[in-house]
Amino acid sequence: NAGVTQTPKFQVLKTGQSMTLQCAQDMNHNSMYWYRQDPGMGLRLIYYSASEGTTDKGEVPNGYNVSRLNKREFSLRLESAAPSQTSVYFCASSDEGPTYGYTFGSGTRLTVV
Amino acid sequence: GEDVEQSLFLSVREGDSSVINCTYTDSSSTYLYWYKQEPGAGLQLLTYIFSNMDMKQDQRLTVLLNKKDKHLSLRIADTQTGDSAIYFCAESLSGYSTLTFGKGTMLLVSP
């Protein structure tokens, strides 16, 4: 069972470079999310997509864009990376209702130098 | 607005019980969750509780909810070294809204 797959697992970028973090889920979930995790800050929601074709801003959307390509895939793009975007990025998905919570990917560790 | 607070660190000996505490501010919170994160991994759902419940037990895990004080706790009985991880409390206003996470409590279990 693959669950939620994130690529790449590690990435180093130079300030000003762009990149796209990929996320795919195989559980037929409607909702998908991008969080970032920073020491002492917990998880903060960047963007989410409640269903295919919709996206909404979370708590910290500045500097990011997202695309819900289809029901399976939800990508996160950094157009011009900044050192403040050094973080671990997690993608998650969920079905309607709370019973199963979110299923998380294993994360992408991004360093911007 | 939503805010979830947790203590940052807890250290226990193997075989003892661990109690991880969480407070939340939004009295409208309907669902409360506990997640576990092992080193280098994503978060895994441990358990959840509805706001109309006071307690939920699942094997070694006991969740207690005090709605009046907006306090949630996770008790792990017979704590093992494999329980060493970061534990996150999370809340949502409904089953269909996004989750707000606390900053996480690092549990260290020593032999």
pLDDT in tens, B31-78: 899 999 998 899 999 999 988 889 999 999 999 999 989 999 999 999
Please check whether residue A104 touches B, CB under 8 A.
Answer: yes
Q: In this structure, how many other beta carbons lie within 10 angstroms of the beta carbon of residue A60?
A: 18
- What is the pLDDT, as a whole number, of residue B98? 84
Interface of B with A in 13-72 (CB under 8 A): 30-31, 33, 35, 40-45, 48, 50
Q: Distance between CA A64 and CA A95 in Å, rounded?
A: 24
Is the bond into A8 cis (omega within 30 degrees of 0)?
A: yes
Q: How many Cβ contacts (< 8 angstroms) between chains A and B? A: 58
Identify the band that residue B95 occupies on the pLDDT scale cut at 50, 70 and 90: low
Residue of A nearest to B41 (CA): A106
Residue of A nearest to B88 (CA): A42
Per residue in A46-105, pLDDT tens? 999 988 889 999 999 999 999 998 999 999 999 999 999 999 999 999 986 656 688 999
Cβ(A88)–Cβ(A104) below 8 Å: no
Residue of A nearest to B50 (CA): A98
Q: Distance between CA B70 and CA B97 in Å, rounded?
A: 19
More confident residue, A76 or B91: A76
